[in-house]
Amino acid sequence: MTKTKEPGAELPLQQQEEVTIRFAGDSGDGMQVTGNQFTNTSAVVGNDLATLPDFPAEIRAPAGTRPGVSGFQIHFSSADVHTPGDAPDVLVAMNPAALVVNIGELKPGGMLVVNTGSFGPNDLRKARLEKNPLEDGSVDGYRVIEININERVRLALADSPLSTKEVQRCKNFYTLGLMYWLYSRPLKPTMNWLQEKFAKRPELVEANQKALQAGFNAGDIHEMFQGRYDVQACDNLPAGTYRNIMGNQALGLGLLAGAEQSGLKLFLGAYPITPASDLLHQLALYKNFGVITFQAEDEIAAICAALGASFAGCLGLTTTSGPGVALKAEAMGLAVSVELPLVIVDVQRAGPSTGMPTKVEQTDLLQSIFGRNGEAPIPVLAASAPTDAFDCALEACRIAVEYMTPVILLSDNYIANGSEPWKLPDLQKLPEFKAKFRTNPEGYLPFMRDDRGMRPWVVPGTPGMQHRIGGLEKEDGTGNVSYDAENHSLMTHRRHDRVQSVRETIDTPEIFGPDKGEVLMLGWGGTRGSIQSAADRCRAAGMSVANMHMRHLWPLPKGLDEIFSSYKCVLVCELNLGQFFRVLRSEFPQYNFLSYTKVEGKPFQSVELTRHVQELLEQ
Amino acid sequence: MTKTKEPGAELPLQQQEEVTIRFAGDSGDGMQVTGNQFTNTSAVVGNDLATLPDFPAEIRAPAGTRPGVSGFQIHFSSADVHTPGDAPDVLVAMNPAALVVNIGELKPGGMLVVNTGSFGPNDLRKARLEKNPLEDGSVDGYRVIEININERVRLALADSPLSTKEVQRCKNFYTLGLMYWLYSRPLKPTMNWLQEKFAKRPELVEANQKALQAGFNAGDIHEMFQGRYDVQACDNLPAGTYRNIMGNQALGLGLLAGAEQSGLKLFLGAYPITPASDLLHQLALYKNFGVITFQAEDEIAAICAALGASFAGCLGLTTTSGPGVALKAEAMGLAVSVELPLVIVDVQRAGPSTGMPTKVEQTDLLQSIFGRNGEAPIPVLAASAPTDAFDCALEACRIAVEYMTPVILLSDNYIANGSEPWKLPDLQKLPEFKAKFRTNPEGYLPFMRDDRGMRPWVVPGTPGMQHRIGGLEKEDGTGNVSYDAENHSLMTHRRHDRVQSVRETIDTPEIFGPDKGEVLMLGWGGTRGSIQSAADRCRAAGMSVANMHMRHLWPLPKGLDEIFSSYKCVLVCELNLGQFFRVLRSEFPQYNFLSYTKVEGKPFQSVELTRHVQELLEQ
Amino acid sequence: MTTDAKLKAKDFKSDQDVRWCPGCGDYAILSCVQGVMAELGVSKENTVFVSGIGCSSRFPYYMDTYGFHSIHGRAPAVATGIKVANPDLSVWIVTGDGDALSIGGNHLIHLLRRNVNIKVLLFNNEIYGLTKGQYSPTSRQGLRTKATPFGSIDHSFNPISLSLGAGASFVARTVDTNLKHMREILLQAAAHKGTCFIEIFQNCVIFNDKVFDEVADKQVRNDRLVTLAPGEKVVYGSDGDKGLRLNGFDLEQCSADEAMVWDASTASAAPAMLFADIDRASDLPTPIGIFRKVERSVFENDVYRQMDQVTSNKGPGDLKSLIYTGDMWNVD
Amino acid sequence: MTTDAKLKAKDFKSDQDVRWCPGCGDYAILSCVQGVMAELGVSKENTVFVSGIGCSSRFPYYMDTYGFHSIHGRAPAVATGIKVANPDLSVWIVTGDGDALSIGGNHLIHLLRRNVNIKVLLFNNEIYGLTKGQYSPTSRQGLRTKATPFGSIDHSFNPISLSLGAGASFVARTVDTNLKHMREILLQAAAHKGTCFIEIFQNCVIFNDKVFDEVADKQVRNDRLVTLAPGEKVVYGSDGDKGLRLNGFDLEQCSADEAMVWDASTASAAPAMLFADIDRASDLPTPIGIFRKVERSVFENDVYRQMDQVTSNKGPGDLKSLIYTGDMWNVD
Ligand SMILES: Cc1ncc(C[n+]2csc(CCOP(=O)(O)OP(=O)(O)O)c2C)c(N)n1
Ligand SMILES: Cc1ncc(C[n+]2csc(CCOP(=O)(O)OP(=O)(O)O)c2C)c(N)n1
Ligand code: SF4
Ligand code: SF4
Ligand SMILES: [Mg+2]
Ligand SMILES: [Mg+2]
């Protein structure tokens, strides 16, 4: 179906290093599919990239309204990409609501592609607009490309057997075709995908493929575009096999890998909650890996079942978001007390309370470290990007199993739903941490300690080693209930020390930029990309700025003292009111920490960080 | 019944400034009653005092065993008393188990009164003793008074109509009589108490009164005691009317007073848990005050019902201990989000998990400040002594109502069950903080703000002001659900600032001792007495030591900067692994905080604190 | 509660945009409830809608009454606090099958046990709508959802049986496709003193479309639904010619004449249980209507009765005499 | 499960001191359970006792099996994790009326709904023992406790009705004063495939002494208790001369000859409900024995069946092919 002569081939082909496009339309317009296809094709042509979907709030709002707007942003580049891009270079707006909700973020002078077919009076009314923004000056200063996509799709599919409504559903592929033309991408991958996706409905394959091609061909309208662009393959990426992956998916795979590396059966106890539910959905598919997924009646039952499964010899796992973590606090304390492995994944969302379930925030850190009764220490780590979620999940499993402890792994919905190219790991080289069940009754006591301070893991079914565990204080060694004063102190310190000893097997974080200087930008979790970009820019602008990103948030890794002492100030950037800043200040009162925060349910933009650092240095 | 010539009146009467007695026996021996009577009588004669019961673990252990031992310590004095005393001067041991469990803490050279009637082979076996501790050297170094109380009671009540078993139940009053003689206390108050207590069973009144008198008379055995003691009335106490009160009781009265001062109906939603259950029991008695107590199905329902009641215009209250606080975390976030008054009382116990329910610890502080998802700030304060619990409860109610916020009040089971003389408050002078319900619909918006940043409280039933509240993020002003970025930031900061603004109406804590110097001992909660005593001792020994005790733990009061800068170091003493120390360090990194901690399920002894300060100063 | 008796259904509409999916069964229920409120002549300010979290739980936002959109599963507890604090309020709970029966199951059964005078509307769509389609405790065994890609293996709750087991004093069921019946049930519930539990079959067009169609679709419902109306014969069928009657401990079809007369107030809940146990897959029609309606003392009434009693025994509380009591002494 | 078939009751005693109050009904249950374990010939290492918090929940410490004394109310969840993780284990829950029906009510009903093969022993003493005597959800209305100094106003749960409403496949009741009967019930429960719910009337000598005496005391129990035994007539009385039979939807006393034959496996749980609803205060005898026993698919069996099915369809999982999939590209 591909023509031999590319339409518009005579137009100048401009090289660009990097481009950020945002597709925006109604929830029913298929923007997520469009974005994902563009992503995929860009990955296949070898760009580095990062993506960020922006879903509407949970319930489907009426079509055409502002709350119903769905967006997908992709940043692709021939160089390293750290974030899905701050402000888009191109905004595709399928209707007035999509336009008004997003226009504010389009780069000055950026390109705005609008589907004028959806700018009728009715459409404007649904978007609560009194005037047509295309006519009232709202889009001044942008390169506006108006195109009646509704109409063009209708014409392109005039002889299709599909109903009018179904025909209009092909709009997104028309739009995608247009963008493929503009950025010189091949149609093949998407053509194939359509073939597979609608294998059972050939008429849909044909219609969408036609629409895609029609959009591509439409690029040839000289008046519309002044030129085409090309973004070359990225040659910075380390050698390897790649695929594009979303954070939640990578996290799920990492948990599965963690189970394999520990030799344990994975038992997930979960209760659905945005944005963590996808982990349950994904792991539920892995039945042939022996993974058990148990959708419990609530978050408390979920963690308790997982802990029961750990007692019985599984790798217990529970996945949730902030409100669920709050509910699990009591049971986490039990896990601390009985010293069993357990992985708790918190895909953070904006709070407090129900908050904004689809928005990003890093506000569960202090809850994770401190939110339990009694002294109940738990190691806490955070993934920093979609692909890092794989490594962190594996690391969380390692710590849980090697240290007989619950572990909290923080993600957030920016990581969860974002995607980036993943250099697929060499499975031979994954860390090994086979769990050891003790079966020798000789000299066994349930709370005896090995030289690292760990108690032996004996699973029910092991002959001659019956024992009882529970949440009351236990006598050192025997594990019998004990109210003895010195024993309680001993056990409290043992629990504390065991968690602190995780420091022995974690790395000091890497420093990017000068190893001493004015400012060290420090972050954790999903802000890595923005901070990295900002720091790169600062350095490019000649500022004395280094940056580092922390995976292990509790206990803190070794070597920080030396690092912190090398900079005039440490700027802790986080999406909360300064939670890690607080932790660092209390651990290292001698250094000059500064806090930069944002609580808007959105990620940092690297420009705002850059600006802040600049101002800091100018003071 | 009282003889005209006091037995032993010819023995030398020694004046003592202060004495600490510990009564210890089996749970069935009535040691709590004995202790309470001694306390009462001492209060009536005008001593200052402090008491500490030491209950066995929750389930009744078999009679005579070590876990079945019940103790009651009273420290009474003619001078100020800050604690129930470190080591007792006198130990009364009703059986071998009581002896072995407690002897270690008796002061060297202290007096040991033992009931030899319960030192038979069977008794020794129950206490898991192979030898009789009275004979194997265990009691060397103490002044041992052996007396067969079983036998003496039997003889004294030979003509009683009571059964042998019932007769033996009078042992504790015999013992009490003995101690009354030794410390020259009047029998009258206890005689009266017996009269009232057993009004319906005159034979019990008679038997117990006889036993009491017999014990008193028995003091007259010269060989047994070398003299009698007297502890004069304390003339340091400020003028006023006093009664002795336990911490939980004072706290309950404070809550009731808080409801009265706010003009609100008190609604307690509670689920029983040691050591907070007594608050439910107590408030359940106040039905004629319009107090509603609702025993919910669990802690979550308890707080949710209380919050619902607040919405409907009550003062919502929930009382619990650490594991319950963990369960309530999610609902606390909701309370933060909807901005309604709510008082959450946490009578702390030792953790983690179920821990040691009857033992003391201060390990819920960080959970209280930080243990919720999202940025969910809540003011936190802590009572420092049984009588202070009254004032703190009132203060918690004030903050809740004046700032439209949940408030956490920390107590602990040392405060809860301890007692001390209470200078009864002048009810005219209690702070007033009448709640104001808005009823004017004019210009009303559910999340509009007054000049202090508070939203109006409009209760259902108010005409024309219907509105909806909930845990999703709300638009400033209207309170409509909003996912807007800037609005979320605004609201997050508003919530934070509102809680911080509590600082405007709280006092800078008082400093005892020099207003600058080497060491500032700093504590919070139930450790006040021990720290005060220790600081007094240090000062008496010429050390440059001041002390201060903090009631408001979040937000922190103003003026601390000036204070902290006046000492070389601030020694934060707490019964955890350094929780408040962590908070202070992160708030004031510029000062030199040191941490002194203990996690033995027991209060500090002032000697250990003194010793630590001394060592610190010697370094 | 009749201060503004002339209110219309639309007066109960709040100014908020209703944000359910087009075609969602929730719309019908909302408008029925608004109509019933007007019909009952209740005042807006004395009415409170309380909910947990879920699509259905957005309901309070759409009512121009007082409302509390609380947290997942906890509406019964919040509502209990409200009602006990102020018994003059008319308190309604709107909840979903996940909210009420999964995370909130315990609060629900305790509410039913206590018999607080609160009306519970459970929108049962046999799915978690808001979180985009996981199975719920009422989903049919075998249902394929995102969380159960190979079919769910859980047995489901029967909300009617469960509430009977919890001792509920009023138990009913209605469907979003029959607003006339729904209105009837809501009116009866409003009149009942005590907790009313009303299961509403509600269609989720997105994640569990047509799940009740086999019995509730307008085409078949006359033959596949049977209405339990206290004091009336248990008859059904397009021509009203069929009935149900007891045979030992079994139910069997019979002619309308032979049909049993429904008694929702028997001492034991067993008869209601027998009807509750008729599964949608059974040949017998699925019962809607009033399964149970018995008089029991109402929780908040007892709270205040006891309070009055104690007060009349002890006299109104006086803080001063509570504080100034026991062994006191003076220091001058 | 018969590896060490010659174990005696005492082999199931752990080395821990039993710490209940002298005279507590828990002792009798403990020794009965130990006897039954021996009789069943189960191995100690394949048996797990799980509990929440309460006096009764200390039980696992006293059994020389594996044990998990978890947190208040959560034993059903913990036990479900254990059983699903390893179905070869014989898993028993010991819980109290507060633990199981107050804070843990939801987990209990979901366990019963799912039909995990776990045996639940609910020690019902109608009081919170461990926390020193507050009323529980099974306490009789009017009970004066520390938390209800003027009498409780809550209606109580009937644990049997509640579990029937939750769809339990095995529901029974026994008493701590009749160890012969308890043994019988425990043996039957052990043989049943699915969740077994067993309510045990248990006397708390300290906080609720003799509360079951009106029916369970040895003096009266022959006339005040009636045993439901599947397939047998419902007869009672010291001379076994009295019986119960159905009259419409009511139960009535009759002669032993006329007594109905008990069927615990009817399609509907209504008959069991009818018996469950006999209150202790009623003239009719209080039923003990097996209220319900039906076959339903067992949760963990289905878990593994589905796992096997998927595995045989898709082949055993291979991490590498899961990771190396979709649109991949190479960078050299
Ligand atoms: C503590 C907590 N856990 C989980 C969630 C996520 N969540 C929100 S609604 C819901 C289930 C909704 O199902 P249902 O009650 O049936 O309502 P529906 O949407 O079907 O009307 C879940 C799991 C949450 N908001 N809070
Ligand atoms: C989260 C939590 N809430 C409350 C408690 C206090 N608590 C312990 S056991 C118990 C009730 C015990 O009653 P029941 O289950 O009937 O057991 P019994 O002691 O009567 O055998 C309560 C309220 C607790 N340990 N944990
Ligand atoms: S998801 Fe289902 S229940 Fe929720 S609004 Fe849409 S149709 Fe209704
Ligand atoms: S308090 Fe009651 S239930 Fe608990 S051990 Fe004592 S008698 Fe048994
Ligand atoms: Mg639902
Ligand atoms: Mg009980």
Copy the structure tokens of residue A532.
């990295």
Q: How, if at all, do strands A567-574 and A517-524 pair?
A: parallel
Instruction: Give the span between the Cα atoms of B5 and B188, in whole angstroms.
Output: 16
Is the pLDDT assigned to residue A412 strictly greater than 70?
A: yes
pLDDT exceeds 50 at position C129: yes
ipTM of this predicted structure: 0.96
Q: Is residue C67 in some structural domain?
A: yes
List chains touching A (3+ CB pairs under 8 A). B, C, D
Q: Does any ligand 3 atom lie closer than 6 A to the CB of residue C28? A: no
Output A434 or B63, whichever has higher pLDDT. Answer: A434
List of chain B residues whose C-beta atoms are within 8 Å of the C-beta of residue D20: 59-60
Q: Is residue C39 part of a domain?
A: yes
Tell me the average pLDDT of chain B. Answer: 94
- Looking at the predicted structure, is the pLDDT value of residue D284 above 90? yes
C60 to chain B: which residues are within 8 Å by CB? Answer: 468, 470
Query: What's the CATH code of the domain at C55?
Result: 3.40.50.970
Distance CA B534, CA B596 (A): 13
Q: pLDDT tens for residues A231-263?
A: 998 888 899 999 999 999 999 999 999 999 999
The per-residue pLDDT for range D11-60, each reduced to its tens digit, is: 999 999 898 998 999 999 999 999 999 999 999 999 999 999 999 999 99
Cα dihedral sign for D229, D231, D237, D238? Answer: negative
Residues 206-265 of C with CB under 8 A from B: none
A301 vs D107: CB contact, 8 Å cut-off?
yes
Provide mean pLDDT across the span C157-162: 98
Q: Which of A84, A101, A87 is nearest to A49 (CA)?
A: A84
Chain A residues in contact with C53 by the CB 8 A cut-off are 354
pLDDT at A222 over 70: no
Q: What is the mean pLDDT of chain A?
A: 94
Q: In which band, very low, low, confident or very high, does the pLDDT at B4 lie, cut at 50, 70 and 90?
A: very low
Instruction: Give the largest CA-CA distance in chain A.
Output: 86
Which of chain D's residues have a Cβ under 8 Å away from the Cβ of A40? 327
Give me the domain span that covers residue D121. Answer: 9-211
Peptide bond connecting B67 to the previous residue in cis, omega within 30 degrees of 0: no
Rounded Cα distance, A494 and C160, in Å: 51
β-bridge partners, B512: B547
**pLDDT higher than 60, residue C296:** yes
Please report the number of interchain residue pairs, chain B to chain D, with beta-carbon separation below 8 angstroms.
73
A359 interface with B at CB cutoff 8 Å: yes
A286 interfaces chain C, CB cutoff of 8 Å: no
With respect to residue C192, please indicate whether it lies within any of the assigned structural domains.
yes
Q: B271 alpha carbon to ligand 2 midpoint, in Å?
A: 9
pLDDT at D1: 42
Q: In this structure, are residues A243 and A421 in contact, taking their beta carbons and an 8 Å threshold?
A: yes
Mean pLDDT of chain D: 96
> How far apart are the C-alpha atoms of C302 and C213, rounded to whole Å?
43
Phi, psi values for residue B213, rounded to 5° = -65, -40
Put residue A239 in one of left, alpha, beta given phi > 0 → left and psi -120 to 50 → alpha: beta
Tens of pLDDT, residue by residue over D96-141, are 999 999 999 999 999 999 999 999 999 999 999 999 999 999 999 9
Per-residue pLDDT tens digits for A280-326: 999 999 999 999 999 999 999 999 999 999 999 999 999 999 999 99
| Beta-carbon contacts of residue D191 (< 8 Å; ≥ 6 apart) | none
Q: How sure is the predictor about A11, in pLDDT bands with cuts at 50, 70 and 90?
A: low
Q: Which residues contact B397 (CB under 8 A, 6 or more apart)?
A: B254, B255, B257, B258, B259, B261, B262, B315, B343, B407, B433
Please, what's the b/e burial string for B357-383 (b: 16 or more CB within 10 A of its CB; e: otherwise)? bbbbbbbbbbbbbbbbbbbbbbbbbbb
**Is B241 a residue whose pLDDT tops 90?**
yes
Which of A416, A355, A357, A339 minimizes the C-alpha distance to A384?
Answer: A416
User: Which pair of tokens denotes residue A589?
Assistant: 């009162």
Query: Is it the case that residue C287 has pLDDT exceeding 50?
Result: yes
**CB D306 to CB C114 under 8 A?**
no
- Does pLDDT of D2 surpass 80? no
Encoding tokens for residue D223?
A: 């006339």
Instruction: Tell me the two tokens of residue C140.
Output: 């049919």
pLDDT at B490: 98
Distance from CA of D284 to the nearest CA of A (A): 38
pLDDT of B453-482, one tens digit each? 999 999 999 999 999 999 999 999 999 999
Q: Is residue C184 one of the residues assigned to a domain?
A: yes
Instruction: Give the Cα separation of D129 and D124 in Å (integer).
Output: 10
| C95 contacts on B by Cβ (under 8 Å) | none
pLDDT at D276: 97
Q: Which residues pair with C200 in a beta bridge?
A: C123, C174
Over residues C136-141, the mean pLDDT reads: 97
What is the bridge-based pairing of β-strands D250-255 and A13-15?
Answer: unpaired
DSSP string for A516-555: SEEEEEEEEGGGHHHHHHHHHHHHHTT--EEEEEESEEES
pLDDT score, position D219: 92
Position B55 confidence tier, pLDDT thresholds 50, 70, 90: confident
DSSP string, C126-155: SSBTTTT-B--TTSPTT--BTTBTT---PP
Q: What is the DSSP string of C36-90?
A: HHHHHT--GGGEEEEE-SSSGGGGGGGBSSEEEE-STT-HHHHHHHHHHH-TTSE
Q: Are D322 and A252 in contact (CB under 8 A)?
A: no
Q: What distance in angstroms lies between residue D208's CA and the mean position of ligand 4's atoms? A: 9
Considering every ligand atom shown, identify the ligand nearest to the alpha carbon of residue C206 and give its number.
3
Percent of chain A with pLDDT over 70: 97
Average pLDDT over residues D163-178: 98
CA atoms B153, B159, B164, B166: torsion sign: negative
Note the ligand closest to the C-alpha atom of D208: 4
Q: How far is the CA of C292 from the centre of ligand 3 (A)?
A: 29
* Nearest CA among C163, C126, C119 for reference residue C145: C126
Instruction: Note if the bond before A352 is cis, omega within 30 degrees.
Output: yes
Question: What average pLDDT does range A133-151 have in this prediction?
Answer: 92
**Cβ atoms within 10 Å, residue A559:** 12
Q: What is the pLDDT of residues A441-485, one digit of tens each?
A: 999 999 999 999 999 999 999 999 999 999 999 999 999 999 999
Least confident segment among A173-182, B57-66, C297-306, C311-320: B57-66
Q: Please indicate, yes or no, if residue C117 is contained in any of the structural domains.
A: yes
Instruction: Give CA–CA dist C241/C237, Å, rounded.
Output: 6
Is any ligand 2 atom within 6 A of the Cβ of residue D264? no
Look at residue A4 in the predicted model and tell me its pLDDT. Answer: 40
Cis peptide before B352 (omega within 30 of 0): yes
| Model pLDDT for residues D195-219, shown as the tens digit of each residue | 999 999 999 999 999 999 999 999 9
Instruction: Give the total number of structural domains in chain D.
Output: 1
Report the DSSP beta bridge partners of residue C122: C95, C199
Token code pair at residue D280: 């202790």
The per-residue pLDDT for A342 is 98
* Structural domain contains residue D85: yes
> Could you say which residues from 178 to 197 on chain B have a Cβ atom under 8 Å away from some Cβ of chain C?
189
CA distance B447 to B155: 76
Condensed to tens digits (0 to 9), the pLDDT of residues B504-538 reads: 999 999 999 999 999 999 999 999 999 999 999 99
Does the structure show a pLDDT above 60 at A7?
A: no
* Domain-embedded: residue C89: yes
CA A577/CA A529 separation, integer angstroms:
20
- Nearest beta carbon to residue D73 from set B57, B277, B298: B298
Instruction: Give the burial class of C254: count Cβ atoms within 10 A of its Cβ; 0-12 exposed, 13-18 middle, 19 or more buried.
Output: middle
Q: Report the pLDDT value the prediction gives residue B131, as an integer from 0 to 100.
A: 92
- Nearest chain A alpha carbon to B602: A485
CB atoms within 5 A of ion ligand 5 belong to: C 96-97, 125
Q: Which residue owns the Cα nearest ligand 3 atom 1? A: C129
Measured at the CA of B206, the angle between CA B202 and CA B211, to 5 degrees, comes to: 150
pLDDT at residue A124 is higher than 50: yes
The pLDDT tens digits for A185-212 are 999 999 999 999 999 999 999 999 999 9
The predicted-structure confidence for C240-283, as pLDDT tens digits, reads as follows 999 999 988 899 999 999 999 999 999 999 999 999 999 999 99
Each residue's pLDDT tens digit, B96-128 = 999 999 999 999 999 999 999 999 999 999 999
CA distance C167 to C194: 12
Is the Cα torsion angle C237, C243, C247, C249 positive or negative in sign? positive
Specify the pLDDT at position B58.
59
**Residues B575, B578, B581, B587, Cα dihedral to 10°:** -130
Angle, nearest 10°, between helix axes A171-182 and A149-156? 100
Atom of ligand 2 nearest to the CA of B273: 6
Q: Tell me if D211 CB under 6 Å of ligand 4.
A: no
**Tokens 């006393």 sit at which residue?**
D253
- Residue C253 covered by a domain: no
Residue A45 near chain B (CB below 8 Å):
no
Return the percentage of chain D with pLDDT > 90, whole number. Answer: 94
Q: Does B326 touch chain D (CB under 8 A)?
A: no
